[in-house]
Amino acid sequence: MKNKIAYGLSAAMMVAVLACSAQGKGSFVQQAPNYELNTSLPKADIKTFKKNKSGAYVLFDGSSLNGWRGYNKDHVPTKWSIEDGSLKFSKKPEGVEKAEGGDIIFAHDFQNFEFEFEWKISHAGNSGVFFLAKEVKGQPIYISSPEYQLLDNDNHPDAKQGVDDNRKSGSLYDMIPAKPQNGKPAGEWNKAKIVVNNGKVTHYQNGAKVVEYTLWTPEWTALLQSSKFSQAKWPLAFELLNHVGGKTKSGVVGFQDHGDDVWIKNVTMKVL
């Protein structure tokens, strides 16, 4: 069944007050448009997946894409494949004509968890990791999800954009920089972990805690208002990110097609 969500008067008034205080007296605020969640697509049965010794579900074992599909799709796009035990996005996959791209997700909603994986990026490559995301019809995944940045810090121009290096690897993209910045060069494996527990989110990169924040708080709203996802710049993104996961505060995890080759392996999810 499709789930149509519209905003009531009280929600619209709250958004208007927030934006007006951020922009100043007399500013006009655009109300976020209605949106529709895509709830008809298949979900993965997490109970059928094996657990490792630490009790985490193995979401990708290097041999099967069971449980994975494209964002807002019922299949895996052809630019995603398994290569030498890794989940790989290929900009130009060999032997595939008119290859299909798009972000890839594991089709199960998670709420409180420890999500771990290893990744490496191509020269001047860019990608990202999404979590607590909802599948919104006609919209990209990052409209409803925080993003853990994957980047070749040395060669991709995005590393020098944003504020205080908040677009380098491990960062909460465009909002909080990863410190210390310990990302490895293109072609080398990095270890990443994202912990979500009752709204508190922690990013780890190569064994170090690099970012920490709490969702659905006044501080989180302020972060959004100072980013590209502010209510004035992108009303729908502001509304969805400010209420990630809706009442359930849960969502899917996924990896980004940013047009550059990226490799992912040892993907696990420990439910808290």
Q: What percent of the chain has pLDDT over 90?
A: 81
In this model, does residue 204 exceed pLDDT 50? Answer: yes
Is residue 260 predicted with pLDDT exceeding 80? yes
Q: What is the pLDDT of residue 33?
A: 72
**Whole-number mean pLDDT of the chain?**
88
pLDDT attached to residue 25: 39
How far apart, in whole angstroms, are the C-alpha atoms of residue 196 and residue 249? 11
Question: Given this model, what pLDDT does residue 245 score?
Answer: 57
pLDDT at 167 over 70: yes
Residue 9 has pLDDT above 80, yes or no: no
pLDDT for the residue numbered 95:
79
What digits encode the pLDDT tens for the residues 106-155?
Answer: 999 999 999 999 999 999 999 999 999 999 999 999 999 999 999 999 99
Contacts made by residues 97-103, CB under 8 angstroms, sequence distance 24+: 100/70, 101/77, 101/257, 101/259, 102/70, 102/71, 102/72, 102/73, 102/77, 102/257, 103/70, 103/71, 103/130, 103/140, 103/141, 103/254, 103/255, 103/256, 103/257
Contact partners, residue 211, CB within 8 Å, separation at least 6: 170, 171, 172, 176, 177, 178, 179, 201, 202, 203
CA–CA–CA angle 91, 135, 215 (5° rounding):
100
Alpha-carbon dihedral 226, 231, 253, 259, rounded to 10 degrees: -80
- Structural domains in the chain, sorted by start: 40-271 (2.60.120.560)
Query: The whole model's pTM is what?
Result: 0.86
pLDDT of 33-89, one tens digit each? 788 999 999 999 999 999 999 999 999 999 999 999 999 999 999 999 999 999 999
Residues near 80 by Cβ (< 8 Å), separated by ≥ 6? 65, 68, 70, 87, 88, 89, 90, 104, 257
